[in-house]
Amino acid sequence: MEIKPMERIWEKVWPDYWPHSIEYGRESIVWHLYHNANRFRDKPAIVYYGTEITFGELKNLVWQAAGGLQKLGVSKGDRVYLALENCPQFIISYYATMALGAIVIAGSPMYKGGELTYVLNDCTAKVVIIEDALFPILQSIRPQVPSVESVIVTSLAEYIPAEPTLPVPPGLKVEGDYPGSIFWPDFLTAPPLDKLAELDIKTDVALLQY
């Protein structure tokens, strides 16, 4: 069976002044964060339940988190698994992982023990960054996921203000007992990253669907 390229029929109705292709640069996504942080330093990058994190603050948090991952031995090609909902920690961890040239594995926070075991073993995650509510699930399967060397635990309450602009789930707290893990505030005390990983963006992309 011959597979033919998909006909881009939508282009037939485009105005003449619309380009049919775009020249993409070879800068990494973290490079763009760095330069936009300089351009829009005091503009909000994240608004979370009323907490505003500016581009400048986000860049600093990413560099701190990248330094924390580097201190844990994460380097280019390693896998970092994020068991997080939509929260500032996800964005910070995502960029921090990319800054080191490591690979982000974004998993569902709804996974139970069996699903989490399969995914962690399949991707051979070296570090897991996880919400406190999900930590007991990871702790119960820890002997079954030998690739996981370090666990960082965070709480959604970390960035929720005293008077949130939206209703929040009950029972959120920052403190807790998470044996064998690193708590998010301690994780961010490592020296910040001093240099981005060198990446060849053109060869690093497996597939660009445009």
Q: Which residue has the tokens 């399969």?
A: 118
pLDDT of 207 above 60: no
Alpha-carbon gap, residue 210 to 201, rounded angstroms: 16
Fold of 27-194: Rossmann fold (3.40.50)
Look at residue 10 in the predicted model and tell me its pLDDT: 86
Full-model pTM? 0.83
Alpha-carbon gap, residue 109 to 185, rounded angstroms: 21
**How many C-beta neighbours within 10 Å does residue 71 have?**
14
Look at residue 174 in the predicted model and tell me its pLDDT: 63
Look at residue 209 in the predicted model and tell me its pLDDT: 47
pLDDT tier at 167, thresholds 50, 70, 90 = confident
Better-scored residue on pLDDT, 26 or 132? 132
Alpha-carbon gap, residue 99 to 75, rounded angstroms: 10
pLDDT (tens digit per residue) in 20-45: 887 777 788 898 999 999 999 999 99
pLDDT tier at 210, thresholds 50, 70, 90 = very low
pLDDT of 201 above 90: no
Look at residue 6 in the predicted model and tell me its pLDDT: 67
- Helices of type H across the chain: 29-39, 55-71, 88-99, 113-123, 135-141, 184-187, 201-204
Alpha-carbon gap, residue 44 to 55, rounded angstroms: 6
Look at residue 74 in the predicted model and tell me its pLDDT: 97
Look at residue 163 in the predicted model and tell me its pLDDT: 83
pLDDT of 2 above 60: no
Alpha-carbon gap, residue 81 to 115, rounded angstroms: 13
Alpha-carbon gap, residue 55 to 13, rounded angstroms: 38
pLDDT tier at 203, thresholds 50, 70, 90 = low
Burial profile 108-118: b = 16 or more Cβ within 10 angstroms, e = fewer: ebebeeeebbe
Query: Chain-wide mean pLDDT for the chain?
Result: 88
